[in-house]
């Protein structure tokens, strides 16, 4: 069978097993098996014959994907802000819209010298900000030692060294400021909704999803505590659930933040909230 024939067969298998974008998934899996850095490289080798040595591992990977294991876990990597990061079951798989949270921080605090990423997970937000702001020092906290180990791998992968400091902390308890900006993509899914999430999302750590009864438990804890860790006019930037912007803005107002604003993602959902201290 040629690479194209194998690719079509894998895509058909994934489609029958309910995988969204089956052709795209099949391309990533086949590129991974063939050792290609980019799936686009396959297009130059569609006529290449593939023997059992290549087809057998592809069948194994397609079976895992068909059973709902996330593509990013199978590949061990994820693309974010144009760069490749390690990704596995130790932390939440970053969603595409989270790239906009990074963009928002860069827009609202372009001269920030010190930044804190709370609940960093895989460290992707923190690393992306450190890369984009080479003069800044970025700190990243997480309560999970497994997530921090993954974040350390991503720190090393992008040679960030002492510019990205990791600390195990329940939100801000073990963190010292002040910071020019605090960014957080904390768990915001109501606990009752977690069982209904997609089978792929079920592979994320529950701790990285569960935001309590209304999805706001951690945000309600972070907002007042952040005031003690922000420099005057320091920025707080939050990613939130699709229906939480009014409640989050109200929480910020209660704690005397100013310049409170909700921001839409590319689908028009009010996905982010920013405010300033002082």
pLDDT 10s digits, 59-89:
999 999 999 999 999 999 999 999 999 999 9
**pLDDT-based confidence at residue 26 (cuts at 50, 70, 90):** very high
Token pair of 271 as six digits: 């996905």
Answer whether residue 136 is part of any domain. Answer: yes
Same domain (yes/no): 124, 40: no
Answer whether residue 72 is part of any domain. Answer: no
Note down the domain range covering 43: 3-67
> What is the Cα–Cα distance from 200 to 192, expressed in whole angstroms?
17
Contact 143, 170 (CB under 8 A): yes
Q: What are phi and psi of 114, to 5 degrees?
A: -140, 130
For residues 162-193, one letter each, b for 16 or more C-beta atoms within 10 angstroms of the residue's C-beta and e for the rest, the string is ebbbbeebebbeebebebbbbbbbbbbbbbee
> What is the Cα–Cα distance from 162 to 140, expressed in whole angstroms?
12
49: left (phi over 0), alpha (psi -120 to 50) or beta: beta
CA-based nearest residue to 172, from 127, 228, 105, 122: 228
CA-based nearest residue to 182, from 245, 250, 131, 257: 257
Q: What tens digit of pLDDT does each residue of 224-250 get?
A: 999 999 999 999 999 999 999 999 999
3 state SS of 78: strand
3 state SS of 90: coil
Token pair of 55 as six digits: 């087809």
What Rg value do the Cα atoms of the chain yield, rounded?
A: 20
Report the CATH number that the domain containing residue 165 is assigned in CATH.
Answer: 3.40.50.150
Q: What are phi and psi of 226, to 5 degrees?
A: -65, -25
Same domain (yes/no): 84, 195: yes
Same domain (yes/no): 106, 199: yes
> What is the Cα–Cα distance from 134 to 138, expressed in whole angstroms?
10
Token pair of 116 as six digits: 């804190």
Instruction: Provide the domain count of the chain.
Output: 2
**pLDDT-based confidence at residue 169 (cuts at 50, 70, 90):** very high
DSSP 218: H
Q: What tens digit of pLDDT does each residue of 123-155 get?
A: 999 999 999 999 999 999 999 999 999 999 999
**Could you count the other beta carbons within 10 Å of the beta carbon of residue 161?**
10
Judging by beta carbons within 10 Å of its beta carbon (0-12, 13-18, 19+), is residue 35 exposed, middle or buried?
exposed
Same domain (yes/no): 82, 174: yes
**pLDDT-based confidence at residue 37 (cuts at 50, 70, 90):** confident
CA-based nearest residue to 112, from 19, 170, 182: 182
Same domain (yes/no): 93, 194: yes
Q: What percent of the chain has pLDDT over 70?
A: 100
Contact 220, 254 (CB under 8 A): no
Answer whether residue 73 is part of any domain. Answer: no
Answer whether residue 266 is part of any domain. Answer: yes
Same domain (yes/no): 216, 240: yes
């Amino acid at each position: 069978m040629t690479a194209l024939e194998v690719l079509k067969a894998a895509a058909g298998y994934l489609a029958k097993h309910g995988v969204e974008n089956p052709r795209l998934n099949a391309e990533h899996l086949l590129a991974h098996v063939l050792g290609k850095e980019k799936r686009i490289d396959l297009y130059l080798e569609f006529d290449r014959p593939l023997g059992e040595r290549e087809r057998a591992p592809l069948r194994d990977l397609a079976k895992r994907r068909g059973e709902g294991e996330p593509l990013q876990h199978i590949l061990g990597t994820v693309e974010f802000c144009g760069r490749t990061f390690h990704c596995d079951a130790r932390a939440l798989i970053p969603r595409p819209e989270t790239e906009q949270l990074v963009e928002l921080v860069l827009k609202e605090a372009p001269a920030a010298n010190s930044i804190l990423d709370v609940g960093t997970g895989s460290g992707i937000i923190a690393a992306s900000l450190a890369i984009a702001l080479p003069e800044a020092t970025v700190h990243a906290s997480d309560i999970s030692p497994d997530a921090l180990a993954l974040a350390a791998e991503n720190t090393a992968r992008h040679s960030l060294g002492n510019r990205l400091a990791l600390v195990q902390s329940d939100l801000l308890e073990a963190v010292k400021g002040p910071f020019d900006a605090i960014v957080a993509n904390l768990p915001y899914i109501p606990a009752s909704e977690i069982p209904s999430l997609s089978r792929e999302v079920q592979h994320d750590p529950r701790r990285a999803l569960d935001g309590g009864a209304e999805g706001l438990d951690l945000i309600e804890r972070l907002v007042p505590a952040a005031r003690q860790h922000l420099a005057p006019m320091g920025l707080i930037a939050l990613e939130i659930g699709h229906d939480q912007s009014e409640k989050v803005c109200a929480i910020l107002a209660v704690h005397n933040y100013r310049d409170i604003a909700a921001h839409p993602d590319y689908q028009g959902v009010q996905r982010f909230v920013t405010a300033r201290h002082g």
